[in-house]
Amino acid sequence: MKIGIVNAGNIGRNLATSWIQHGHDIMLSKDTSPEKLRTRIQELGSSKGLAETELAKFKYGSLVEAANFGDVIVFSIYFPRLSHVLQELQRAGVTLSGKIVIDTMNPLNVDENFNHYHDIEFMQRTSTAEGVQKAFPEAIVFKAFNTFGATLLDASKWPSGRIPPVIFIGGNSSSTNTARKLIEDAGFRPRFAGHDLRDAGLLERLGILSHRLAENEFDGDANIAFDILQSKT
């Protein structure tokens, strides 16, 4: 599968280094400091045991090139830069028509002391996934990979048998299995919550709850994730 990652930060790099091992064809891009991306991929890939032949398969390009490259596009853009990047893609003529877009983002802003906080006003109005869909109405947009920390999107960091689920929302009936497979190829358990993209905000609000739990129950340790259990009765 051809996958373009629009801004390969911690989330995008972790997904890319998992997906490349399943034979996917991946182009990486970076909004800021793109010259450092290749080195960071080499470092992360080596730490995850990727062979040099696998690392050599990665392609690198601009944000626009990555968006045009993939049949599947991953949006992992720093929230304060989201509007700018969407406009940049639109000005370049990108439409994402018929492409599956996976939005991994959360509406996190940053204050003058570089502390991140949820943009509650934004979250009361909309979600990043709905914003992407509005900007690219011909795209098939999913929300996924946003409910636990970016560095935890490495399945090897979780105890055997306790891999957390990745909840996903959006898309359509013909695209759901593709999103499901990519979640599985990343090493996680897919759990589908419906096609209504207006529900994507529910996943973003889980981020607030996760932060509250980390602060009040786990002494600030954010290495946590929600699980979904099904009773046998």
Encode pLDDT of 101-127 as tens digits. Answer: 999 999 999 888 888 889 999 999 999
What's the pTM value of the predicted model, to 2 decimals? 0.95
- Identify whether 224 is part of a domain: no
Which residues are within 8 A (CB) of 163 and not within 5 positions of it... i.e. 6 or more apart?
A: 155, 187, 188, 189
- Identify whether 90 is part of a domain: yes
Instruction: Return the structure tokens found at 32.
Output: 């800021």
- Identify whether 232 is part of a domain: no
Structure confidence by residue, pLDDT tens digits, 29-38:
999 988 999 9
Return d(Cα 178, Cα 73) in angstroms, integer. Answer: 12
Q: Which domain holds residue 180?
A: 2-216
CB atoms within 10 A of CB 189: 15
Domain total of the chain: 1
Return d(Cα 13, Cα 8) in angstroms, integer. Answer: 5
Cα three-residue angle 120-126-130, rounded to 5 degrees: 140
Structure confidence by residue, pLDDT tens digits, 10-31:
999 999 999 999 999 999 999 9
